Amino acid sequence: MRDILNKCWTLTEEDIDALEIGSGILGTGGGGNPYTGKLRLREVLRAGHKPRILPLEAVADDAKVVPIGGIGAPLVSFERLKEGREGLRCLRSLEERLSFKADAMACEEIGGQNSMEPLVTGALAGLPVVDGDGMGRAFPEMQMTTYCIYGHQSTPSVMCDPHGNAVAFEHAITEKWHERMARACVIAQGGASVLASAPMSGAFVKKYSIPHTYTQAIRLGRRVIAAQSANEDPIAAICASEGGKRIFSGKISDLKRYFERGFNTGVATIDGLDGDRGSQGEITIQNEFLVFRRDGEMEVCVPDLVVVLDLDTGLPLGTELLRYGQRIAVLALPCHDLLRTPQALEVIGPAAFGFEDLIYRPMAEAE
């Protein structure tokens, strides 16, 4: 273990501030509110625990790496704070059930508060978190990770809530069934819990993680902070950093948002401003921003990232923070290659969300 920790780097409070912004951008509106996650992680750091990042290349092939993340609706996780040790209880229960000791934690999704969850658990357990994740963004369902897409069986798993309840899922015949059962359970637990899945081998993690996403999120957050300090345009800095483009600017003129089946769902309608005046944008929501349409025509859809920023500050907005009258900028960022394969698109392409009429075209091909 000491050899592993010697290869890690420890997060500072400045890193956590940057991670809050970067994970909010990559979260495409979901993954849980990163601000509340930041507060929890900061308190863990101040209590003397060390949140550590392990470079992906330094993971041993035979290491046992446990993926962990929050499950539920962003609105619930924003309004109901976690107790703080849900993830640690998940990890210890899983280790006991399967008679193993974890070597490291893995992030299910780098987006939003879920970037913080493995770091909180890892710091409390004295374990590092691998520099990568299973989405490179946020998606609403558990089977939508590269881990599951490329063959990891996530059960047995354990889910814990703030009250002290722990539920074990012994076996699911498919990853979709695991999602269905866990979603039903999280509704009973109040709409927001933490789940740890069966351990992965280090060799698998190195091959199928979206690589270096903690480094990416922290770098992205630092660039936004630097642009703000220099009175430069943080939106332009984000696009330059991630190969993205600004696709719409406007004001939210209508917002329909619901909590159903354990998800935040809805549609945001945006009246164009500046160069987009006279056009109307529409964003379809299921925990995350899934599809952006201009005047009824799709311009960007999953798995590429639809990002919503405050037009004046350039800071990311989650689906739970959208309000009527907000001035926003909509960005499109390209997803990682692991999310563009035919195998991946069966799980995270537009048809997987019910958009049977939409055909995904990578951003680079749409230029």
3-state DSSP assignment of residue 252: strand
pLDDT band at 5 (very low <50, low <70, confident <90, very high): confident
C-alpha triplet 288, 293, 296: angle, nearest 5°: 140
Q: Give domain 2-213's CATH architecture.
A: 3-Layer(aba) Sandwich (3.40)
DSSP-assigned beta bridge partners for residue 268:
255, 283
Look at residue 361 in the predicted model and tell me its pLDDT. Answer: 93
Q: Domain extents for the chain? A: 2-213, 238-366
pLDDT confidence bin for 154, thresholds 50/70/90: very high
Let me know how long the chain is.
367
Those residues whose C-beta lies under 8 Å from the C-beta of residue 317, and which sit 6 or more positions away, are 29, 308, 309, 310, 326, 328
Q: Is the pLDDT of residue 261 over 70?
A: no
The domain 238-366 is placed in CATH, from the list 2.40.390, 2.60.40, 1.10.3470, 2.40.10, at 2.40.390
For 54-112, the pLDDT digits (tens) are 999 999 999 999 999 999 876 676 677 788 899 999 999 999 999 999 999 999 999 99
Nearest-CA neighbor of 68 among 28, 37, 29?
37
pTM of the model: 0.94
223-256 confidence digits (pLDDT tens): 999 999 999 999 999 999 999 999 999 999 999 9
How does 62-76 read in b/e, with b if 16+ C-beta sit within 10 Å? ebbbbbbbbbbbbbb
